[in-house]
Chains A and B, each alone.
Chain A
Amino acid sequence: MPYINSWCRIRRNIIVANGQTVWEEPGADVSVFLTNAYRRLDIGYPKFYKMDRLSQLGFLAAEMLLHDRFDKQEYPAEAVAVVLANAHSSLDTDVRYQQSMSAIPSPALFVYTLPNIVIGEICIRHQLKGENTFFVFEQYDIPFLNDYINQLLEQNNAQAVIGGWVDIFQDQYEAFLYLVEKKQIPGSIIHNQQTISDLYGIVDAGS
């Protein structure tokens, strides 16, 4: 039976990791909130500044998810999969890139005009080389991702999976990442649709 051994949720300018609020900055602009969170959490990865906002959001969630509850030495790099999804693909950056085309388009922005780049940034940071997939849904499809992740583990295509939802467009954003493993540790939560729904929580209109 697979277990959720770590999780992180970022929304409404609050970062919650495994039930603990680790950073909040009410009222801040999204970009400012993400950058200040990076600085205050003392992550020390200057490439963060070069990432687009989708990658920054996913990167921060992955940092909180993995920093004290995941030992990558336990698994071959090829055995850790990343399966993420969102609704707006890379539209937040696509729009910025389109705007930059009125002058000389920015190559640094262009490389982020795909949603799966956020997975690449997480994999580079944590040296993960397993299967990675990015889905674009109209809304967070918990049953689909739950089944997909369970299947990866059951068929031994992965021994651990980072899954979840990372979405941003303009001032609307949300990240919810969780680590699924076969092993049970203190604080483990059974991985199923109900527990994911409970951790994800209800999103109010306008949040």
Chain B
Amino acid sequence: MESLMQDLKAKIIVQLNLQDVSPEQIGDDQPLFMEGLGLDSIDALELIVMLQQHYGIRIANPEDGPKIFQSVRTIAEYITAHQKTA
């Protein structure tokens, strides 16, 4: 899980073009949207693309998005759960 979260942080920075942010600045449980990293709705779509591109995971129900993308840890948990069931 730890290594997946580190990998995710690096990929999020590249995918969302967060050039002034380093992986160390993103907390495992830090909110990604609003008060946290300040991501927006377009970033959410990019995160969906990232999951599909790099982890081969499609989000079946878009309403699950807010829960999945709450933090790096929740994304990592979702990936782990869905890769196990794949």
Contact = CB atoms under 8 A, between A and B. Distances in A.
Interface stretch (A21-29, A88-96, A102-110, A168-176): A102-110
B42 A49 contact: no
Given A108-B42, A108-B43, A111-B42, A50 B17 contact: yes
B53 A107 contact: no
A103 B43 CA distance: 18
A49 B46 contact: no
Judged by DSSP, the binding face of A is helix
A202 to B, nearest CB: 36
B53 A104 contact: yes
Given A104-B52, A106-B46, 11 more contacts: A49-B17, A49-B19, A49-B20, A50-B16, A103-B53, A106-B49, A108-B16, A108-B42, A108-B43, A108-B46, A111-B42
Contacts of B43: 108
A46 interface: yes
B45 interface: yes
Interface string B1-43: 0000000000000001111110000000000000000000011
7 contacts: A35-B19, A46-B20, A49-B17, A49-B20, A104-B52, A107-B49, A108-B42
Contacts of B17: 49-50, 108
Q: What are the 10 tightest A-B residue pairs by CB atom distance, in nearest-first order?
A: A107-B45, A49-B19, A49-B17, A50-B17, A104-B49, A46-B20, A108-B46, A108-B42, A107-B42, A104-B53
A108 B18 CA distance: 13
